[in-house]
Structure 1
Amino acid sequence: MGDETAGLSGRDAAGLAYVCAHFEELRELLGDDGLDPSTPLERLRAARGAEAASTAGLLGEIDAALRAATDDFASIHGAGQGRGGDLSGLEPLEIVFRCPLRRCTGRPGSEVAVARPVCSISRRELVRERLV
């Protein structure tokens, strides 16, 4: 990619960097299979190298869709209204594994070393989810 951040505000440049780094995660979270060229993610992909105002508008659409999908808990520009932290603290969407029977506390994704972790109490496979 070229310098797509030229002319963008620092906030929008950080948002664009976040979208680029987490494109597939965002696509999954927003239910975007990549087949519809009218979705904000696909329009942003098609607009590579577009002027800053166009890119900023598309980032705004992606942010609005992400906020709607997560009840305003996540934003490409940092913390949503329901999350703590500073607005520049862009973090990847965190993966957690929870017990389907609620018998154990589960584990954060960073602690899971196997593809299909199981509950130590029920011996059932833990459910993989995104924590937003």
Structure 2
Amino acid sequence: MGVVEGDEARERLTAAGLAYVCAHLDELQDLLTQTLPDPAPIGEAPVLARLQHALTARPVGAGSDPIQEPDLYGLLDELHDALQQAGDRAGVWGNVDPGQRGGPLMGVGREPFEPIYLCPIGECDGRDDVPVAVAPLTCALTGRNIEQDDL
């Protein structure tokens, strides 16, 4: 996607991109692992590993020194390029709608008091349509518990 003008637009895209990657982590990992050169670690796509490391190293609630914070948008952009090179034409950016904050909220349907699932480090848009199979729910990227709230 390249350069995005404005901090707010960049933050929206980053949040939407992280939500997409979190929801599709296994698929993305499989695709990237299949296309890595032989010397790559087994079962590990380097760009995804760097993104996960950047997120798990962040304190809950972030808000720390912006100079030392990793460039999550840059890592997502790198992941986008890697996915396209691996054959996923849409990559990350083709699968997110940066304007979604003006539309329906994630996890919000017509039922009152529907649960919503919040990013444990406050960086992504959260998850919708979470199949509850194991409790507590965990973020695929950080391994931290996903917070649940009601609207």
Q: Which structure is larger by alpha-carbon Rg, 1 or 2?
A: 1
Report which of the two has the higher share of strand: 1
TM-score, structure 1 normalization = 0.46
Identify which of structures 1 and 2 has the higher relative contact order when contacts are C-alpha pairs closer than 8 Å and 6+ apart. Answer: 2
TM-score, structure 2 normalization = 0.41
